[in-house]
Amino acid sequence: MNILVISHLYPYTTNPSFGIFVHEQVRALQKLGVSVQVLSPVHYAPRLLWLNSKWRAYGEIPRHAEIDGVNVFYPRTIMLPKGLLFSLYGAICYHAIKDLVDTIKKTQCFDLIHAHVAIPAGYAASLLKAKLKVPVVLTIHGLDLAETVHRSSRCRQNVLQAIRQVDQTVLVSHKLQRQLAALDNLAARNIMVFPNGVDPDKLQNAALNPYPTDKYGRKVLLSVGNLYHYKGHDLVLKALPQIIKEFPDVVYRIVGDGPEEGRLKALVQELDLTNHVVFMGRLPHIQALEHMAGCDIFVLPSWNEAFGVVYLEAMGLGKSVIGCRGEGVEDIVEDGQTGYLVEPRSTESLARTIIQLLKNDAASTRVAAAARDKVLSSFTWEQNARQYMDLYRRLIAKG
């Protein structure tokens, strides 16, 4: 079985964790005998923009690389700054990759295209479908339904068009299914939900090499996630003064970077938390897992989360996790049984739950063990890949 994966979410040289969940799925498919070629469109970055570190990073991405045995091409596509003309991005992506697809097809024909994210890859794949006459699977991870459909009526139309024109759309959580139904109930009827997964081998390696516990013996709270407002890092910071009153020996580590970094560091100063908060920056995936292995409580009160592989990873490492009610994490966390759910944007709910966990080690240990068992039995990348392989076979058989 030969599959062409198209995804702008994919690791590259200067950001090896970007889109790591897509890469992990591709690796799992290859282990099951599927031949996969990956096209990951990246922004065209002329040298005159290289004074900006972000654009320089794009410019330094190679045209081709092999990552963990996966063959990855990085075609250039034009994307205007600040998302200008974003509604055209799918069509632009199609024109940027179609000739490369033809070139690759000369040495390996494709049985199916698997696109990740409706705009740009899903829209581009829907145009390639007619050209290559192969079925197309589209996986939506969240951004399309959380943000893109609200950019403009044209963006909304393009997302829904991609969903309607591919052979099968897969969502990573039931939260996304509810969001799609609110937009277009008809489109939501032809939907499958496949949760993301974890790599047990990577978790085991991290568990054998955890990041050192705090040198002062303090309890470690940990968040792993890009520093965006909706991730809720600020809520943890605002909850800390209340937590510290009862448990002075607590430290909060934050793994990730992003546009909120300056605001979060200013909040640390404002709340006099300098001795209780450590910003670790963006780390390679395995190091992030090692931090999870070394923490006491994993907390990410994100109030706009489609799924959240990091919750799965922390659970798979036997940690108590805290997420928000009403988010994609509800698919994997049963409150009080395999983790804890707090009210979105509620500092009080968050502080109360963390204090409860710190007070009751026995309950925390019981819940963390149940979480680990659940993840390793039901949420691995191998299981995810087998679901997709069954879907691929059905669509290919239809012709």
Q: Which pTM does this prediction carry?
A: 0.93
> What gap in Å lies between CA 294 and CA 215, rounded to an integer?
12
**What is the residue range of 364's domain?**
200-378
Q: For the chain, first and last CA: distance in Å?
A: 14
**Angle at which helices 381-398 and 20-31 cross, to 10°:** 70
Domain match, 150 and 270 both: no
Please check whether residues 261 and 186 belong to one and the same domain. no
Same structural domain for residues 288 and 351?
Answer: yes
pLDDT in tens, 132-162: 999 999 999 999 999 999 999 999 999 999 9
CB 198 within 8 A of CB 375: yes
pLDDT higher than threshold 90 for residue 250: yes
Are 279 and 358 within one domain? yes
Instruction: Report DSSP state, residue 110.
Output: -
Q: 399 pLDDT band (50/70/90 cuts)? A: confident
Let me know whether 275 and 221 are in one domain: yes
Residues 6+ apart with CB under 8 A from 396: 1, 111, 112, 135
Question: Letter for the amino acid at 276?
Answer: H
pLDDT tens, 161-179?
999 999 999 999 999 999 9
Q: For residue 286, what is the domain's CATH number?
A: 3.40.50.2000
Q: Is residue 330 predicted with pLDDT exceeding 90? A: yes
For residue 284 the two structure tokens come to 């390679």
User: pLDDT at position 56, please?
Assistant: 83
What is the pLDDT at residue 131?
Answer: 87
| 62 burial type by CB count under 10 A (0-12 exposed, 13-18 middle, 19+ buried) | exposed
Number of domains in the chain: 2
- Contact present, 34 and 386 (Cβ < 8 Å): no
Contact 367, 345 (CB under 8 A): no
Determine the Cα–Cα distance for residues 102 and 227; give it in Å rounded to an integer: 39
pLDDT in tens, 93-117: 999 999 999 999 888 889 999 999 9
Judgement on whether residues 183 and 206 belong to the same structural domain of the protein = no
Which residues on neighbouring strands pair with residue 73, listed in sequence order?
Answer: 39, 64
Write out pLDDT tens, residues 188-244: 778 999 999 999 999 999 999 999 877 778 999 999 999 999 999 999 999 999 999
CB 172 within 8 A of CB 195: yes
Residue 262 has pLDDT above 80, yes or no: yes
Check pLDDT > 80 for residue 391: yes
Give the pLDDT score at 185.
Answer: 85
Examine the domain organization and report whether 164 and 270 are in the same domain.
no
pLDDT bucket at 376, cuts 50 / 70 / 90: very high
Examine the domain organization and report whether 294 and 278 are in the same domain.
Answer: yes
Measured CA to CA, the distance from residue 364 to residue 338 in angstroms comes to 10
User: Is 207 found in the same domain as 144?
Assistant: no
| pLDDT score recorded for residue 380 | 97
Dihedral of alpha carbons 252, 280, 291, 199, sign: positive
Q: Output the DSSP codes for 38-70.
A: EE--EE---GGGTTSHHHHHHHTS-SEEEETTE
Helices (runs of H) and strands (runs of E) counted in the chain? 16, 16
Do 181 and 231 have their domain in common?
A: no
pLDDT score at 28: 97
Residues 226, 319, single domain; the answer is yes
Looking at residue 276, what is its pLDDT? 96
Confidence of residue 81 (pLDDT cuts 50, 70, 90): low
Same domain, 182 and 253: no
Per-residue pLDDT of 54-76, as tens digits, reads 778 888 899 999 999 999 999 99
* Residue-level pLDDT at 190: 83
pLDDT band at residue 53 under the 50/70/90 scheme: confident
